[in-house]
Amino acid sequence: MQRAIISGMLVVILLATGCAEQKSASSASGVMPVHLPDVRTPIPLGTEARQEHRAVMLQHLETIQAIVAALAEEDYRLAQGLTESHLGFFMHRHAMARQDPANFPPAYHDLAMAHHAAAEKLADVIPTQDLKQILPQFNNVLKACVACHLEYRLRSS
Ligand code: HEC
């Protein structure tokens, strides 16, 4: 009787450890977050310039949300207006008026211009009201956000 209980317990323990092994095997296969080394180029900025840059970025994200909301409501005029005024070249001039261009490497400037150019293209196709034309351009705008985020980070100078 006692033997049966002990061997029963052994089976339970073996099953339990088997399970634990399976779990750690699955985390080794990429379920756990992987911490990649940060290879982005740091841009040294003073406190004020950093805050200004951050404000522009946070506004970019809010603008993207507002554009998607306008598209979802089929308010194409609003979507176009937001894209042009908040992400286009006008916004670039506005943002750069508050920054010292010398702080930013030329390649950063190129990525910023590519992003504004993509936004202008998006603004151009929105009046078609055709999502098959709008979404690929929208994707290009988001790709331009991602491209720069992969390359650069800010650093306190
Ligand atoms: C030309 C470069 C560039 C482009 C284009 C760009 N960003 Fe950024 N963004 C940055 C950098 C640099 C940071 C700071 C990252 C860091 O220091 O970790 C940043 C940070 C941010 C942050 C974090 C702000 C915070 O709370 O600190 C958000 C949100 C953001 N960007 C949104 C966007 C969106 C949305 C777009 C596209 C519409 C965009 N960005 C396009 C360079 C760019």
14 alpha carbon to ligand 1 midpoint, in Å?
A: 50
Q: What is the pLDDT of residues 69-123, one digit of tens each?
A: 999 999 999 999 999 999 998 888 888 888 888 999 999 999 999 999 999 999 9
110 alpha carbon to ligand 1 midpoint, in Å?
A: 15
114 lines ligand 1 (CB under 6 A): no
Q: What is the DSSP string of the chain?
A: -HHHHHHHHHHHHHHHHHHHHHHHHHIIIIISPP-----PEEEEE-HHHHHHHHHHHHHHHHHHHHHHHHHHTT-HHHHHHHIIIIISHHHHHHHHHTS-GGGS-HHHHHHHHHHHHHHHHHHHHGGG--HHHHHHHHHHHHHHHHHHHHHEEEEE-
Q: What is the pLDDT of residues 131-148, one digit of tens each?
A: 999 999 999 999 999 999
